[in-house]
Amino acid sequence: MEYVGIDLHKRESQICIETDAGELIERTIRTLRERFGAILGARSRARILLEASTESEWVAQCLETLGHEVIVADPNYAPMYPERRRRVKTNRRDARTLATACRLGAYRPAHRVSAAQRQIRQQLTVRDVLVRARTRAIAMTGALVRGEGLRVRSGKSEQFVTRLHELPLPSSLRVTLAPTLALLETLETEIQQADRAIEQVAVNDPVVMRLMTAPGIGPVTAAAFVATLDGADRFAGAHQVESYLGLVPSEDSSADYRRRGAITKAGNPRMRWLLVQAAWAVWRSKKADAQPLRAWAQRIAGRRGRSVAIVALARRLAGILFAMWRDETPFDTARLGRRATAVH
The dihedral region occupied by 265, where left means phi > 0, alpha psi between -120 and 50, and beta the remainder, is left
The model carries a pTM of 0.86
Do residues 183 and 137 touch, judged by C-beta distance below 8 A? Answer: yes
What tens-digit pLDDT sequence spans the chain (344 residues)?
Answer: 999 999 999 999 999 999 999 899 999 999 999 999 999 999 999 999 999 999 999 999 999 999 999 999 999 888 887 766 666 679 999 999 999 999 999 999 999 999 999 999 999 999 999 999 999 999 999 999 999 999 999 999 999 999 999 999 999 999 999 999 999 999 999 999 999 999 999 999 999 999 999 999 999 999 999 999 999 999 999 999 999 999 999 877 666 667 778 899 988 999 999 999 999 999 999 999 999 999 999 999 999 999 999 999 999 999 999 999 999 999 998 888 645 444 44
CATH of domain 2-104: 3.30.420.40
Question: What radius of gyration, in Å, describes the C-alpha atoms of the chain?
Answer: 25
- The domain limits of the chain are 2-104, 115-204, 209-340
Q: How far is CA 267 from the centre of its chain?
A: 6
Neighbouring CB atoms inside 10 A of 122's CB total: 11
Q: How far is CA 77 from the centre of its chain?
A: 20
